[in-house]
């Protein structure tokens, strides 16, 4: 027997026809309109060149507000994939933690070709990430570097605990300066105190920004000349809201 597969549009049309011809209109289900995906274009070189660091910051803030209020942009990802084949002209470089609960492009309501995203547990800057950020800004002309920390960060928690395991031991050394910088915290300075973990996480963002400026003369020079900005932010796991530090 040959199967006939009806699309959602065909089914909806049939239901509307049936209801319009029914004597009992009150029995008809409410049918909501089906949204049409936007044909959003990927950024062009000219559009990227016209951006300022402040404009990119505003774009990220606006995008996060849409994300936090469940009002994200509908996108035709298939079309955007095809349109991005010939080149990329991103707005910003985001240095994020490895945490799987923070989908960076979604958090800022951005699409294909909008962001460079570098990820490492604890969002610190080592030589590989510094080189990646230099590539993103100096070569590919992104206008912003954003270091994104977050609530309940496992890398921060285990650094406070002094965890030692395989390559994790050496990795956590990159976060220890933030623990040292947090000794002025007034309260229980242990991993069991969420407020202390948050304090260290925010200091870690600040320390990462200092590391970028100190260890990358290229990026420091671009910031000093106004070509880019290097800033930090903190993601709230409960609300999805990003606070810019």
Summarize the confidence of residues 24-36 as an average pLDDT. 54
- Beta strand 92-96 with 115-119 is parallel
| CATH code of the domain containing 55 | 3.40.1050.10
| Helix/strand number for the chain, H first, E second | 11, 5
pLDDT digits (tens, 9 = 90+) for 102-111: 999 999 999 9
Q: Look up residue 163 and give its two tokens.
A: 């965890």
Q: How many domains does the chain have?
A: 1
pLDDT digits (tens, 9 = 90+) for 135-160: 999 999 999 999 999 999 999 999 99
CB 130 within 8 A of CB 216: yes
Residue 63 resides in a domain: yes
Residue 34 resides in a domain: no
Q: What are phi and psi of 179, to 5 degrees?
A: -65, -45
Residue 58 resides in a domain: yes
What is the enclosing helix (H) or strand (E) of 118?
strand 115-119
Check whether 38 has a pLDDT greater than 70.
Answer: no
Check whether 13 has a pLDDT greater than 70.
Answer: no
Summarize the confidence of residues 5-31 as an average pLDDT. 49
Cα 71 to Cα 50: distance, rounded to the nearest angstrom: 27
Residue 179 resides in a domain: yes
Residue 39 resides in a domain: no
Residue 26 resides in a domain: no
Cα 88 to Cα 86: distance, rounded to the nearest angstrom: 7
Give the structural domain span for 155.
Answer: 45-244
- Please report the pLDDT score of residue 15 as a whole number: 47
Cα 32 to Cα 15: distance, rounded to the nearest angstrom: 12
Residue 82 resides in a domain: yes
Residue 132 resides in a domain: yes
pLDDT digits (tens, 9 = 90+) for 42-100: 788 999 999 999 999 999 999 999 999 998 888 777 777 676 777 789 999 999 999 99
pTM for this prediction: 0.82
């Amino acid at each position: 027997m040959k199967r006939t597969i009806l699309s959602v549009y065909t089914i909806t049309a049939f239901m509307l026809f049936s209801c319009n011809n029914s004597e009992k209109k009150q029995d008809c289900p409410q049918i909501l309109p089906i949204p049409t995906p936007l044909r959003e274009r990927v950024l062009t070189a000219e559009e990227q060149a016209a951006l300022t660091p402040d404009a990119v910051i505003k774009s990220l803030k606006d995008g996060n507000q849409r994300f936090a209020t469940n009002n994200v942009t509908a996108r035709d990802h298939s079309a955007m994939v095809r349109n991005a084949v010939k080149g990329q002209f991103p707005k910003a470089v985001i240095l994020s933690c490895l945490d799987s609960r923070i989908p960076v492009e979604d958090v800022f309501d951005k699409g294909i070709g909008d962001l460079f995203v570098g990820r490492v547990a604890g969002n610190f800057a080592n030589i590989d990430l510094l080189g990646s950020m230099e590539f993103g800004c100096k070569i590919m002309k992104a206008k912003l570097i954003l270091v994104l920390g977050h609530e309940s960060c496992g890398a921060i928690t285990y650094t406070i605990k002094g965890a030692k395991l395989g390559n994790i031991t050496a990795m956590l050394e990159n976060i220890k300066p933030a623990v040292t910088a947090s000794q002025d915290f007034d309260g229980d300075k242990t991993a069991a105190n969420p407020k202390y973990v948050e304090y260290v996480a925010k200091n870690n963002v600040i320390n990462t920004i200092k590391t970028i400026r100190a260890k990358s003369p290229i990026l420091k020079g671009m910031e000093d000349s106004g070509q880019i900005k290097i800033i930090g932010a903190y993601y709230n796991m409960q609300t999805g809201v990003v606070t810019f530090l």
